[in-house]
Structure formats: structure tokens, C-alpha cells
Structure 1
Amino acid sequence: MSPILVFSVIAGYFLLLISISYFTSRQSDNVTFFTANRQSPWFLVAFGMVGATLSGVTFISVPGEVGNSNWTYLQFVMGNMVGYAVIALVLIPLFYKLKLVSIYEYLKNRFGKRSYLAGSSFFIISQTIGASFRLFLAAVVLQIAFFDAFGIPFYVTVLTTIALIWLYTYRGGIKTIVWTDTLQTTFLLLAVIISIVVIVNHMDLKAAEVFSVVSKSEMSGIFDWDWRSDRNFYKTFLAGIFITIAMNGLDQNIMQKNLTCRNKSDAQKNIFWFSLTFFFSTLLFLALGVLLYKFAIDQQISLPERSDEVYPLLALNEFGLLAGIVFLLGITAAAFSSADSALTALTTSFCVDILDIEKKKTDQKKTRMLVHIGFTLLMFIVIIIFNAINDTSVVSAVFKVAGFTYGPLLGLFAFGLLTKRPVKDRFVPVVCILSPVISIVLDLNSAEWFYGYQFGFEILLVNATITFLGLWGLYDKRPGFH
């Protein structure tokens, strides 16, 4: 693809996003930015959340990772389905009953202010890292497809990319995101479908034969029963449940969208329909992964060592112009659908939880905009750092980091919901810091200490359990005093 064509496609895409932003942000205020005035149609939120949840990580890494670990990722997604049911039936009713703007306000009501600030801080750290990892993928593709042709350095690519996100989110916030996510999900799924069609046509396969090729491939193996493996079914399935609860149900980014629905019932319908769409979308990505490797073998194409580069290489160089354009739109949409909502959620959490903006007498809108700019710059810095040190598949890196940073959140909410035990609030931040530190030590030494056992995504459960036990030990015999 020529750089001029790439530029035209991306420019047209952003003009469309900015147009949506213009119409959704008219007469907007902080309430609009944080909650979309709680008027979002549930079906719109459900469809848009698919793109935000899949993200650039799934779009690029999951098809490529099929070559390394087959379809074992589906074990994790099966657990996700159970996690979404817990969110719909337990967390959604709670958050709507309390009429929360930031879900971490629950921690203040349950434990105290320091627990509240600890929970919000861990979300901010987790989301900044996760969103930056995802946006890194899009920046790499844009660098290869456009910026390299003009000798433009990577940091300029990143700065341009993140500045464009800020441009269409700074006014309308979550109200704009609900609508742009719908557009971005459409492009993301369209890219996968067209890629599959192109491969099928190249290989001269009939529709019935596609199913046979995918299902009979050695790469379509789903289950791993080796107890020592980090892909073992039981621990991957359980990790899927609890990572979903932590990274979706206890994540301001995702829950902020759910809380824009008109009522609890609409939000629950949104979760159930979204989870089904998400599951079948993941199947598409896994099927695409098998077909990508099959296509490369048939065409005798040498693939890069890093699995994250397999899909971009083939889509941009081997699948033809239409598929290349749609892929470019898909990766851009996938990355921005998660990064834009993350930026909005980070701004919301910092303003509501840390600054307590609703009680300030200063210009609240100006404060919100300054915070929005601050997180934009912070994400830029994290992406540059990640580019300098990254040496593994991004899909593994994101969830590995999440296992350490979301663990305290899961432990805090689990303790709050499952017990009525009061705690010494002033010591809660200490427990939340020690839990991931202990988890990291266990993870680094697991093979030596536990007879070859290696932690996978289930390190989140270990982290959350340590937090839970730490809170249990902080029993406050004087309820009301923290």
C-alpha cells in the first residue's frame, strides 16, 4: 500500500470520528463527560463494547498466537463468559443501587477513604499500562504502513496517534465513546471477515471446506490438561472468570459504559448480549489465526519470529488492496476503541476519586480538561518505554501485568461483598502494595519452589487471595473508627 493511500484512509477515518464527536458533544458538561446523562441505548453500548474489549491486542496478537499455543486461548474466553454473568447479576445491581459515577466510591462506603484511594490508584496504574500496551500495537502498524516511508521516528507516530484520540474525546467524553465504539466495532469485525474471505479465495476453498480445514488443523487444539503448564484448562478457565470480573466488572473503563444505560435492566441486557457477541467474535479471530498460518505455508511465505507481526505482514503485503485497507481500518479501530475509552475512564477516575471534583469551587470543566491532557501525555511516555523494552507477545504481557495490578482490586471488592467485617482502613494501602510484591516473588520462583509448576493468568487469583487474607487480618474491633 502506498503511504498516500494509507494517509487518506486514516485521515478519512478520523474525520468521521471527529464528526461524531461534534454531534455528540454539543451542550456537554461534566455529567455528559462522566455518565452520558445515563441515556445510552443498551444495544448500542453492547455492540460498541465488543470493539473495546477485543482491542488491538486481540486483533493482532490472538491470530498470531495461534501458531504458538493453538486455540488454548478459548479456555480463557470460556471462563470470561462466567465472569460476565457474575458482573450482570452481582455488580450491576450494586452499582446502580448506589448511583455511582466512579465504581471505586463503593470502597469508600464500605471501608473508608484510604481504601477508596488505594482502589482508584491501582485502577489508574493498571489502565494506564494496559491501554498503552494496546495503543502501542496500532502505532507499530501505522509506523510500518505510513511513517517509515517518510523517515518519521516512532515517537512522532505515537504522539500523533494519541493527540488525535484526545481531539475527539476531550469534549463529549463517554457519550462520544459510546457512539464511536459502535463504528469501531463494525470496522474491526469487517476486517476479520474480509481477511478470512480473501484467504479462502486465495486457497480456492469452498465454504464447507473452510470449517474442515480449521477444525482438523493441529493448531485448533483447545484443551491443555498438563497441570504444570501455564495453559492448563482449570487454571486458565478460573483465571478467565476472575480476570473478567477484575478487568471488566471492577474496571472504571468498562463499567463507565454500562452505567450510561438508562437503568439496571438495560445494563444487564447489555452485558449478556455483549458476552455472546464477544465469544463468537473470538472464534472468528482464532479461525483466522489457523488460516493465516495455512496460507503462509501454501504460499511459501517466511513469517517473522514475533507472532504479533504475522497478521499485519500478510494483510498489508499479501492479501491485496481492499484487504489491506480494511485491515488498516480494523487495527486503527481496535486500538482506538480501547484507548479512547481508557483515556476517558482515567480522567473520570482521577477527577472523581482523587480530586473529588464535584466538591471543588474552581472551574470543574477546566480541571477535567487539564487532567485529560495529563493522561494523554502519560500514555505517550509509557508507550515509548514499552517500545524500548518489549520482547514478548503483547497479549501475554497485558494479562500478566493485569494479574499483578488488578489483584488488589479483586481482593478488595471480594472482601467487601462476601464479608461484613470492618477493617483498619489506614493499613489497607499497605496490604494492596504487598500483595502484588509477594505475587511477583512467587511467580518468579514457582518452577523451583513448586516442582515445575508455572503460574499463568491465575496469578491474579493468588494476588487477590493474598489481599483478601491481608484484609481479614486488619479486623477493626471498633466499627466506625478507621
Structure 2
Amino acid sequence: MSSAIGSVDLIVLVVAVGSSIALGLYLSGRNTSVEAYLLGDRSLPWWAILGSIVATETSTATVLSVPGEGYGPTGMRFLQMAMGYICGRWIVVQWLLPLYFRGTLSSAYQVLGIRFGEQTKRTASLIFLVARNLGDGLRLYLAASVLQILVGWPLPLSALVVGVVTIVYTYFGGMRSVVWNDCIQFVIYMLGGVASIFVIVANIPGGWSALWEFCEANNKLQVLDFDWNAKYSFWGGVFGGAFLTIGTHGTDQMMVQRYLSARSQRDAGRALLASGFVVLAQFALFLFIGVELAAYYSQANLADMPEKADQVFAHFIIHVFPKNTGLVGLMLAAIMAAAMSTLSSSLNSSASAVINDFIIPIRQRAQRELRPDALLALTRYLAVGFGLLQILIGMSAQNFGDTVVSNALKIAGFSAGLILGLFALGVLTRRVGQLASLVGCAGGFVLLMLAQFVAPRFDWVISVPWLALTGAVSTFCIGYLASWIVPAEPQTQETR
């Protein structure tokens, strides 16, 4: 296959990718313990945590599929989700963040272990592991599909390249490498987004004035929609987005691991709150790119238009972006940066969940604790193993329907809702014990499956923003009702 990028673009791409590996190797010498490898010795500055939080939740799905939302009928209304994200972050800072800074916790789900017991902790951790690796495998696929088109490599090889580069710098550098690479990658993809704004408008006949006329004629800049039945409504965005964020940023190991890497609870809270406003601006940027693309393609009349909305931005990069100027290389680096920032965080947090929620407790119970160097080596091997798993998922993800961002959000909604329901049972009630919490989680999962696969047959569809709320409320209600049949065990402790 022939490559769609020139030598200058390739140099930009290689420099961006090579710097990630170099930084990982540079920081590898500081990882002398598992805590240093997984938490950066709890010494990272708040602004670096801020950059890492934003970059971690920004995958290739944001860079490519969010413009797809702006390109389609949704327009700028997807921005309502980001409003809910800010509300959710405030709740996390006020109610959940203090739980993680009691003592020296290393995993989000250790809180559930203290409150309910080991089985609830492991159940939540397992839900996280399944959802995280499946969702991030989908995100890897989207990055690989663009690399396949631009560079001309087959999809499996493209997924392998993105995955292996990320595995290498995560394996050597640990959490420090992940966080500092996240900050660099955040700058790269934001530069790519800003550059795209000007490149696209320069290719629209009539420029900015024609763009504004198109937006006004097609109602593309409407942000608020109070129709309950809309795909992205104000109510779904604010309430659904808030509950999704409470789950993804309040109970997800990948995010909690960043808070625990901060120097203090105050620094962690500052980083988390500020990240909400940065994400709002970031969503506005990439949604507006989609609106610009809609204006451009409304006049282009091309026969080879992509079938899916989340492929339109990549199509523009390939066919319209000026070649061999470094801009295509910058955009490809931005797409890879978004993918690698999420993937590296996923590998590190997945390894952390297995080590802290399964390996260490099991070995301690058997009175066969691993030596520190053996535990560090095992943690690194686990990161590699999860990386290979996500590569395999990415290679097979082309068989999925719908847009990749919708699939990823559905998975996040499932897991975030169930785990958030468990945390709510632990924090808001005293009578719920381990067995009742597990019954609630199982019941919430069944209801989500019914809502996703059975309800649409009766013309009743729950949109993506409501999934986390549905899962959390159903888990809480079923668990609380079950507690009247199976009261809390004597050893259950209160989490407040």
C-alpha cells in the first residue's frame, strides 16, 4: 500500500512518537518500588495531574468521533454533556475524593473492601477491568484505522504500532511517564485541533462568512435542547453527564490513580475541577471542527464520502490537508497522542487494579508475600499483558456497528453506573452488607442489559447519557431492597 503522507509529515510523526519512548526510558530509573511505578511516589504537581486527567479521557474517539457528532444532526448540542461533566466533578471533589485520602489507599475499590468486604471489592475491580480494556480496545481501533489509511499499513499492523509504542513507554516509565507523556500529548492534539479550524475554513468557498451563513441556516450552533426525547438533551446532558462523570471520575481506578499520585487531596481536587472546564473548551473545539466539515462537504459534492460520521474528519485530513508541510504529520501525531494517552493510562491502572485488589490481598492471606522487586516486575508484565489484549480487541473492532464513540460511551455507562451504585450503597446506607450489594450490582446489570437489547424492540430507547444514571439507581435500589432480606454482616464497616 502507498503512503498518504510525505517525508516532512513522517518526520513530525516519528519525532512525536519517539519522544514518548525517550521520556519513558528517561524516567525508568526512578521506579524502584510498586508505589513509585503506579503512583509516582504521590509527588506529582496538580497541573500535571490536570493535563493527565484531560488527556486520559480524550481518546481518538474525541478527536475523530466528536467532530462526527458536530458534523451530523447533533451539532453543538453534544456540548451539554460537558456541562454535566463539570457538575459531576464538583460532586466527586466534595463527597468521594476525601474517601481516597484516608490512610494510604492504592486502589479505588479498596474503599468498597473496607465497607463491604473482599467480594464486593473484587467484583467492582473486575467490572472496571472488563469495561476498561474493552472500551479502550475500541479506541485503539479508531486510531489504527486512521493510521491504516494515512500510512498505508494493514489494520492489524497499525493497531500493533500504536499499541507497542504505548506498551514500551508505559513498561519502562510507569506512572510518571504516563502523566508527563499525557501532558505532552494534550498539547499535540490541541495544536492539531486549532490548526484544523483554520485549514478547514480556508477551504470553504466564502470563508468565515459562508460558514456562519451555513450554521444559521442549519441551526448548527444551537447548544441547549430541552426536548426530553432528543438524543442529546439538556436534561440528559446535565444529569446523565453528571452521573457518568461521578462514575468515571469518582469510582474509576484509572482516574482515582491520578488523584492518589498528587501531593495532597487539595491538589487532586484542584486538578479535577479545573479539568472540567478544559474538557468543555476541548469539546467545543472538536465539535466546531465537525460543524466546519459539514459546511465544507455541503458544497463539495464528492462521490467517495465516508459512510460513517466519525470517518469524515479523517477523510478531510487525507484528501484536503496540505501534504508534506508537517500538518498531516501533526494531525496524525494528534490522533496517535489521543490514543496513546488513554491506552497508557488504561494499562497502568489495569495493572494497579490486579496488583492491589487481587495479588497482594491473596498473597497476604496465604502469608506468601512477594519480594518488592518481584512485585514490581509482575506489575510491569501485567501492563504488557493488558496492552496485548487491547491490541487484539482493536484488531477485531471493525465488526462493531454504530459510531465508536457511542460504543465506548455505552460501555462506560454500564460500568460507571454499576460501580457508582455500589459506592452509593456504601456511603449513603448503613444496613446494606456485602451480599445485598452484590445482589444490587447483579440486578443493575440485568436491567441495563434489558434496557439495551430488549427495550428497543418495544420502541423504548435509553440514550447514552442516561445509561450511567440508570445503572446507578437500579443497583442502589435493588441492593437496598435486598438488605431488608439479607442485613449487613457484623464485620461490615461504615464508609463516610
What is the TM-score of this pair, normalised by structure 1? 0.92
Q: Which amino acid aligns with 1:227?
A: W
| Partner in structure 1 of residue 159 of structure 2 | 158
Tell me: CA distance 1:215–1:109, structure 2 relative to 1, closer, same or farther (3 Å).
farther
Equivalent residue number for residue 318 of structure 2: 316
Q: State the AA in 1 paired with 2:169.
A: Y
The change in CA–CA distance for 1:211 and 1:280 in structure 2 (over 3 A counts) is farther
Displacement of 1:236: 3.2
Structure 2 distance, partners of 1:444, 1:218, is 33
Quick one: structure 1 residues 455 and 276, their matched pair in 2 at CA, closer, same or farther if it must change by over 3 Å? closer
How far apart, in 1, do the equivalents of 2:463 and 2:281 lie? 28
Gaps of 5+ in 1: none
- 2:467 is the alignment partner of 1:456: no
Per the normalisation by structure 2, the TM-score is 0.89
The residue that corresponds to 1:470 in the other structure is 478
Tell me, in whole angstroms, the C-alpha distance in 2 between the residues paired with 1:414 and 1:168: 36
Aligned counterparts of 2:420 and 2:209: Cα–Cα separation in 1: 44
Map 1:44-443 onto structure 2 (within 5 A).
44-66=48-70, 67-148=72-153, 153-203=154-204, 214=215, 217-302=218-303, 303-321=305-323, 322-356=326-360, 359=364, 360-362=369-371, 363-387=374-398, 389-423=399-433, 425-426=434-435, 428-443=437-452
Change (3 A) 1:193 1:384: same
In the alignment, the residues of structure 2 paired with residue 273 and residue 232 of structure 1 have an alpha-carbon distance, to the nearest angstrom, of 24
- Count residues with an aligned counterpart: 475
Describe the shift of the 1:62–1:142 C-alpha distance in structure 2 as closer, same or farther (beyond 3 A).
same
The whole-number CA distance in structure 1 between the counterparts of 2:210 and 2:95 is: 43
Deviations along 1:407-455, one digit per CA (max 9) or x if unpaired, are: 21010011111122241x2464454234212221133343565x75544
Q: Match of 1:244, SS?
A: helix
Classify 1:273/1:210 alpha carbon distance in 2 versus 1 (closer, same or farther; 3 Å): farther
Query: Secondary structure, in 3 states, of the residue corresponding to 1:319?
Result: coil
SS at the partner of 1:292? helix
1:6-49 Cα distance to aligned partner (Å, 9 max, x none)? 65443322210111112222131311111100111101221232
User: How far off its partner does 1:329 sit?
Assistant: 1.1
The match for 2:453 among 422, 440, 444 is 444
Give deviations 1:165-219, integer Å, cap 9, x for gaps.
Answer: 1111112211111100010000110001001011223337677886676566422
The answer to which of 160-169 and 453-462 deviates more is: 453-462
206-215 or 242-251, which deviates more: 206-215
Consecutive unaligned residues of structure 2, counting only runs of 5 or more, are none
Question: CA separation of 1:233/1:459 partners in 2, compared to 1, >3 Å: closer, same or farther?
Answer: same
Per-residue CA distance 1:325-369 (angstroms, 9 max, x = gap): 221111011111111111111011111111127842242122212
CA distance in 2, matches of 1:361, 1:453: 49
Q: CA deviation at 1:232?
A: 3.2
Give the stretch that moved more between structures: 407-416 or 297-306. 297-306
Aligned equivalents of 2:436, 2:488: Cα separation in 1 = 14
Equivalent in the alignment of 2:25 = 22
For the residue of structure 1 that corresponds to 2:220, the secondary structure is helix
1:330 to 1:214, Cα distance in 2 relative to 1, 3 A: farther
The superposition leaves residues 49-98 of structure 1 with CA deviations (integer Å, 9 ceiling, x where unpaired) of 22222211110001012214222211211111101111222222221124
Question: Helix, strand or coil for the counterpart of 1:173?
Answer: helix
1:231-275 deviation line (CA, Å, top 9, x unaligned): 333133211001111112211112211221100111111112211
State how far apart, in whole Å, the 2-side matches of 1:195 and 1:230 are: 27
Matched-pair identity in % = 26
Conserved in 1, the CA contact under 8 Å of 2:129 and 2:350?
Answer: yes
Matched-pair contact (CA < 8 Å) for 1:225–1:232: yes
Mapped contact 2:59–2:339 kept (Cα < 8 A): yes
CA contact (8 A) 2:431 2:488 kept: no
